[in-house]
Amino acid sequence: MPNSADARRRVIAVYLTQGTVGLLLMLAITWRHPGEALAVVQRLGPDAPVLMGILAVFAAALQLLKFELTNVIYISLGMMAYMAMVPLLGTVLASWMIAGVAIATRLLAMHDIGPVKLGMTDAPSEYAKVFGLFSTYGIPAVVAGSLYAALGGELPVMHATPASAAKIAAASVALIVTNSVVMFRPQRAYGYSLSRITKLDIIDMSIYLVTVPFVVVIALSYAMIGWGAVLALAFTGIVANFVARKLAVTRSRSQQQLTRIASLTNVGKTISLRFATDELLMAIYTECKKTVDCTLFTIALLDEQTSELSFELDVREGTFLPKERIPLGDGLNSWVVQHHQPLLIHSTADEQRIGVKAVADSKPTESWLGVPMIARDRVIGVISVESFKKNAFTEDDLLLLTAIANQAGVAIESQRLYKDLEGLTYALEQRVLERTNELRETNLRLLAADRSKNQFLANMSHELRTPLNSIIGFSSVLLENAREALAPRMYKFLENIRTAGNHLLELINDILDLSKIEAGKMELRADEFDLRDTIAAVERVMKGFAAEANVRITANIDANVPRVRLDEGRLKQILFNLLSNAVKFSPKGGPVTIGVTALPRERSPIGVDSIRIDVRDEGIGIAPDELQRIFDEFYQTEQGRRARRGGTGLGLSLTRNFVELHHGRIDVQSSPGNGSTFSLVLPVDYEATAAPRPILHAASV
Ligand code: ADP
């Protein structure tokens, strides 16, 4: 069909004027040769109706078996019969019969009768075209007949001579050429280019020219044998035409199938690459268009929340209509959604039979095909195509569209999920951001609080230490110098005051050290020294305390123990803590030993050249479930508390911290009643040691 109103008007005009010319020409020739038709009929005698019948059926059959030669050329071999009519029936009879058959078969096709179904898409144009057949075939018939007569052709041809064969051939060629010439103006009105017209003419004419010898044989066979031969040859012609048509149809089907398979394999890929919905819908449309008639095409998505169909893509004869929403309910699209099924309608009658009513259209359509897009077992939308023609869509179209819709459904759904996911990720990111900010603020507050705590501890210990030092100092002086002046009870009190004061001072010092460590402000000094001297010094200080408890401290230092680079002050503190615990928790007279050995890096658990110090006692020991906890701040064992040996529970915590600051490690092996062994491993040179490994604080025996 012409694609614009203007072109349509032009085509109608051309057909009407040319048809009129053709009709007038036929009338004129009939007028001018009044006796010709009658003379021919008389000469044929009783054969006349038979021969005319055979030729008419031959022509009609060929005309009705019109087929698609290539995807641009539809061909009918009716010309073969028309060409044979000219020398057998003469100009007048032949032209009226040819025009009659052409018009009759066209009318049948327009009413969907017979193998070719044209449908009435646009009745005025169709009828104009029918009228135009007076020129398409009438004029060529008149020209061919007149040429045949001018050449002195016998009417009807009765003698099979080379001369008559030549005349028949000449008339046939004239028919073919005139037909092409007459078709020129309608083709131009359709907007065909000159090159396209030339190409079509060359193909048409060469096919018709090939049949000319066959036509000559048909015409001459009547002269030689009679109408039986014409019948036989006509039959052969029809069969040959039928076979050619079948082949062409099969080939075009298989070609179509191939295109469909290709487009189907393509569609998934194309669709899955689109990211925006509009782009995706356009891609679906483009793919559908390749294999299905998509003159009227829509994609509607279901909005479950509002129960509406939203027409996201609506293409009518090449024009994209604005998006529109309609409530789910009436109409073919709604039917597809509600029934979860495709719907194929061949004509308005079909539509009434099924009982679904299309939503009112400005220009009513005949065929409709809609398939649901399904994702995760839910219908999410409908793809539909429509046509003004009857029977425009086939089961094949339905299958193809279903396959495309399935892929589209998955693509659209994944796109939605992706969008949801994007939203969720964004929300999550926001939450994480908020929480991070909150944490940062909390952290800042905590840091500030920590700073004030440390400041407080520093201030407090300073405030406490000054009077404490006076108390300890004065009580010591009194204890030494005023022994005689004081009553024994008072002297005892004074001693208690000094002991308590010393204990308090220790506690304060320990707390201060711990808070320094916590604040990361504890710095070690690297002194190079000989462990033997250090241990001797510690032993000297411990002497009085050990003697009081009646405990003997012995040290065994291996000869190969090297000089070390550690913080000597802190090492002394470590040893004081471990030794005073050992003494404190030993029975009277119990031995306490310090063992020092060198550990080469291969055997050292900290992987560097180290020394190992074991402080062993045979005291009350520690229960297995408490071994892990004795290094916690303020923790004292059940057994220890019962033994009432005083203490603060800070010593071991500080000890562990000092050891770790030296990149070393400390373990304890102990069991109740069997004494304890605290083992330290320290690097020979702590400054040359890298970050510490994870530390195992305790091990049970
Ligand atoms: P303190 O000795 O001041 O209480 P520590 O931190 O030095 O604090 O020790 C914590 C606890 O570990 C002690 O109270 C005691 O219960 C237990 N403990 C430490 N050393 C020994 C040991 N050699 N024998 C038995 N128990 C010990």
Which atom of ligand 1 is the closest one to the Cα of 621?
25
> Which two tokens mark 380?
């999410």
φ/ψ (deg, to 5) at 553: -105, 125
**Least confident span in 233-237, 314-318, 594-598, 685-689:** 685-689
Contacts of 547 by beta carbon, 8 Å cutoff, 6+ apart:
none
CA distance 36 to 43: 11
Distance 636 CA to ligand 1 centre (A): 6
CA neighbor of 84 nearest in space, from 266, 220, 262: 220
CA distance 255 to 515: 87
Calculate what percentage of the chain has a pLDDT beyond 90: 44
Contacts of 689 by beta carbon, 8 Å cutoff, 6+ apart:
606, 608, 662, 663, 683
φ/ψ (deg, to 5) at 616: -115, 140
Task: Quick: pLDDT tens for 263-307.
Answer: 777 777 766 665 567 888 888 888 888 778 888 899 999 998 999
**Percent helix, strand, coil in the chain (nearest 5)?**
60, 15, 25
CA distance 537 to 548: 18
Pair type for strands 343-345 and 367-375: antiparallel
pLDDT at 617: 96
pLDDT at 566: 94
CA neighbor of 553 nearest in space, from 503, 618, 506: 618
- Side chain identity at residue 440, one-letter code: R
Distance 584 CA to ligand 1 centre (A): 9
> Which two tokens mark 299?
């994609």
- The H or E element spanning position 147 is helix 139-150
pLDDT at 23: 96
Strand partners, 29: none
- Answer yes or no: are the C-beta atoms of 63 and 78 closer than 8 Å: yes
pLDDT at 562: 95
H-only helix segments in 33-116: 36-44, 47-64, 78-110
CA distance 213 to 225: 17
Pair type for strands 676-683 and 665-670: antiparallel
> Which two tokens mark 74?
């539809």
Instruction: Please report the DSSP string for 391-406 in residue order.
Output: T---HHHHHHHHHHHH
CA distance 234 to 228: 10
pLDDT band with cut points at 50, 70 and 90 for residue 20? very high
- Side chain identity at residue 331, one-letter code: G
pLDDT at 119: 66
Task: Quick: pLDDT tens for 158-189.
Answer: 898 999 999 999 999 999 999 999 999 998 98
> Which two tokens mark 159?
């003698």
Task: Quick: pLDDT tens for 196-237.
Answer: 899 888 988 988 999 999 999 999 999 889 888 889 888 988
Distance 464 CA to ligand 1 centre (A): 26
Average pLDDT over residues 685-689: 82
Please identify which residue in the block is written with the tokens 């429509």. 386
CA distance 140 to 686: 116
Distance 694 CA to ligand 1 centre (A): 23
CA distance 10 to 13: 5
φ/ψ (deg, to 5) at 161: -115, 160
pLDDT at 694: 45
Is residue 580 classed exposed, middle or buried when 0-12, 13-18 and 19+ CB atoms within 10 A define those classes? Answer: buried
Distance 611 CA to ligand 1 centre (A): 23
CA neighbor of 101 nearest in space, from 119, 125, 82, 117: 82
pLDDT band with cut points at 50, 70 and 90 for residue 2? very low
> Which two tokens mark 457?
């501890």
Which atom of ligand 1 is the closest one to the Cα of 647?
3
Is residue 160 classed exposed, middle or buried when 0-12, 13-18 and 19+ CB atoms within 10 A define those classes? Answer: middle
Which atom of ligand 1 is the closest one to the Cα of 635?
10
Length of the chain: 701
> Which two tokens mark 346?
């061949």
- Answer yes or no: are the C-beta atoms of 212 and 83 closer than 8 Å: yes
Distance 683 CA to ligand 1 centre (A): 25
pLDDT at 701: 34
- Answer yes or no: are the C-beta atoms of 94 and 36 closer than 8 Å: no
- Answer yes or no: are the C-beta atoms of 186 and 11 closer than 8 Å: yes
Rank 394-408, 503-517, 610-624, 644-658 by mean pLDDT and report only the highest: 610-624
Distance 640 CA to ligand 1 centre (A): 7
Sheet with 665-670, side-by-side order of all strands: 552-557, 591-599, 610-617, 676-683, 665-670
- Answer yes or no: are the C-beta atoms of 187 and 197 closer than 8 Å: yes
pLDDT at 422 > cutoff 50 = yes
Distance 666 CA to ligand 1 centre (A): 14
pLDDT at 563: 95
Radius of gyration of the chain (CA): 57
- Give the residue whose CA is nearest to atom 25 of ligand 1: 621
DSSP 307: T
CA distance 101 to 78: 9
pLDDT at 134: 96
Which atom of ligand 1 is the closest one to the Cα of 640?
16
Please identify which residue in the block is written with the tokens 């009226």. 96
Average pLDDT over residues 48-65: 91
Separation in Å, CA 276 to CA 414, 418, 508:
12, 11, 70
Please identify which residue in the block is written with the tokens 């119990």. 590
Average pLDDT over residues 304-315: 91
- Answer yes or no: are the C-beta atoms of 680 and 604 closer than 8 Å: no
CA distance 575 to 563: 17
Q: How many CB atoms lie within 10 A of CB 131?
A: 18
- Give the residue whose CA is nearest to atom 21 of ligand 1: 581
pLDDT at 697 > cutoff 50 = no
Distance 649 CA to ligand 1 centre (A): 7
Strand partners, 664: none
Q: Which residues line ligand 1 (CB under 6 A)?
A: 577, 581-582, 585, 617, 619-622, 630, 635-637, 640, 647-653, 676
CA neighbor of 68 nearest in space, from 295, 263, 289, 253: 253
CA distance 626 to 611: 27
- Answer yes or no: are the C-beta atoms of 637 and 626 closer than 8 Å: yes
| Choice from 545, 581, 671 to test ligand 1 binding pocket (greatest atom count within 8 A of CB) | 581
pLDDT at 343 > cutoff 50 = yes
pLDDT band with cut points at 50, 70 and 90 for residue 518? confident
Which atom of ligand 1 is the closest one to the Cα of 649?
8
Pair type for strands 308-316 and 319-320: antiparallel
| Choice from 630, 631, 644, 668 to test ligand 1 binding pocket (greatest atom count within 8 A of CB) | 630
- Side chain identity at residue 367, one-letter code: S
pLDDT at 272: 65
Query: Helix (H, G, I), strand (E, B), or coil: what is residue 617?
Result: strand
| Choice from 633, 652, 654 to test ligand 1 binding pocket (greatest atom count within 8 A of CB) | 652
User: What average pLDDT does the chain have?
Assistant: 86
Average pLDDT over residues 126-146: 94
Is residue 272 classed exposed, middle or buried when 0-12, 13-18 and 19+ CB atoms within 10 A define those classes? Answer: middle
pLDDT band with cut points at 50, 70 and 90 for residue 395? confident
Distance 614 CA to ligand 1 centre (A): 16
